[in-house]
């Protein structure tokens, strides 16, 4: 098991953003975290990445407890945040180089990894352009390439297709699933756009800070009597946790 979350609770004053959330992500799989806006997805990712500390519960990444061994846990993560986090004055290559250096990669290893990441996402021809000159979809590809340049074992995606047009969302989804198959990494993909993750191996539905369902897409269809995953998602959001 790559990621294990058990009984995670987080309060902001009187607001309980997460209430005893538990989930697991297996090696080489794509797990979708489906939730409406305000369901608690971003709060969960803030805890998974060590930006905040949970009030209760446990996070284990590759057996490392996030509370007691955060560096060991975070060293094997790749992250694409909901809000863009690129330096717009740097080129795509420079953004990847900077990230690789922060992770202590040697110059030779960095050059090889950055070249491979740029080629994988079709960015080689635009690698020397300032990032601010790239389209929104291309910037997202740069962020995905940056997250993968250090060869993480677990990739966290927080609403990665937010603000993208249909074609850019399709390209991003294709690239993520392709990277998962080729590299054997695990992915936790938080989103409210069901069409992005219909091919996920597992789905966790988060509503009002609580997990209301988890399983394969087929099992969610069966349990809700739905014809589509979107129908199942909407039905689960109408039920009490």
pTM listed for this prediction: 0.90
Look at residue 176 in the predicted model and tell me its pLDDT.
86
Look at residue 157 in the predicted model and tell me its pLDDT.
94
Look at residue 184 in the predicted model and tell me its pLDDT.
85
Topology adopted by domain 1-76+156-163+184-241: Rossmann fold (3.40.50)
- Listed as ranges, residues in the chain with pLDDT below 50 are none
Question: Would strands 64-65 and 56-61 be described as parallel, antiparallel, or unpaired?
Answer: antiparallel
């Amino acid at each position: 098991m790559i990621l294990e979350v058990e009984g995670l609770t987080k309060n902001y004053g009187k607001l309980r953003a997460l209430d005893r959330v538990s989930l697991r992500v297996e090696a080489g799989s794509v797990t979708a975290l489906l939730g409406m806006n305000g369901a608690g997805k971003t709060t969960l990712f803030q805890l998974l990445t060590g930006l905040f500390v949970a009030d209760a519960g446990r996070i284990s990444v590759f057996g490392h407890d996030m509370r007691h061994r955060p560096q060991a846990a975070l060293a094997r993560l790749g992250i694409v945040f909901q809000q863009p986090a690129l330096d717009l004055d740097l080129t795509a290559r420079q953004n990847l180089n900077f990230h690789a250096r922060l992770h202590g990669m040697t110059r030779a290893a960095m050059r090889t990894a950055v070249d491979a990441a740029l080629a994988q996402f079709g960015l080689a021809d635009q690698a020397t352009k300032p990032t601010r000159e790239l389209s929104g979809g291309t910037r997202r590809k740069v962020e995905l390439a940056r997250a993968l340049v250090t060869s993480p074992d677990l990739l966290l995606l927080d609403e990665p297709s937010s603000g993208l047009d249909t074609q850019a969302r399709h390209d991003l989804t294709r690239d993520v699933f392709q990277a998962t198959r080729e590299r054997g990494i695990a992915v936790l993909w938080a989103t409210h756009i069901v069409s992005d993750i219909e091919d996920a191996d597992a789905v966790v539905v988060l509503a009002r800070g609580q997990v209301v369902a988890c399983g394969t897409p087929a099992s969610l269809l069966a349990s809700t009597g739905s014809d589509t995953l979107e129908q199942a998602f909407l039905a689960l959001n109408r039920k009490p946790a």
